[in-house]
Structure 1
């Protein structure tokens, strides 16, 4: 069943409030940066007159827009917020990147509490979802992302993507 078409005012409101209910219904691009993103994207708010709306990734790319390039930053922010912020004392965060033939492999690891009691903190998983979405938008099926406990007390986020020099 097709969803009803969205009006520009409704899409503007969804972007301004970063409403997750609109995920998958449209994308928006910013004229000044030529970047496109999802309605709930946490990026700095653009002026409404600089926004353009698209039905999907191919439409945005055909119009000359590109996916937001911040793939690594949310991983480091996640390690700080949920690793360092959840523990007392010394905490380790490591970042490694290596080229393997035509692939780039990036790994971020951080200490994490051995046991988590109670509900997840607000926002847990949002940054990781943004990373996965951006990787998929940029590389389609040629990029891979995984995240989760790697060992007791260690959390790992790993990216695998094509090596590109453009």
Structure 2
């Protein structure tokens, strides 16, 4: 008979992070121990606060979204994207879809790059001097990039 492994608690905060003072804890209502997701061994998002068990004054989603705008003084072990979930065995363990979409939107993807008009512009809108200059600039970038790659492979 197989037994379910017990959950390991979340990692401790890094020593370089400053700890929350008592006044900061009262300001953000963090005096009680926060319930960690990985201690419950669930692979789904935590229940929202707008239900029946919501604390007073925290049921409004607009208020919650504006609560942590700007600099947030959270411990590293309490940041939602850095919490390790040991019981989540799925291909894409996305618990916070809004945060994931914002992080994904901050990077360029290949779909956003429209390179279809580049060849037309290269052939029709540049003269021989510009083509020669741009080709040499690209050549120098490619050469320096290959030198860096060779030094990285050697190490």
Question: For the pair shown, which has the larger CA radius of gyration, 1 or 2?
Answer: 2
TM-score normalized by the length of structure 1:
0.19
TM-score (normalised: structure 2): 0.20
Flag the structure with more relative contact order, 1 or 2, with Cα contacts below 8 A and sequence separation at least 6. Answer: 2
Q: Which has the higher strand share?
A: 1
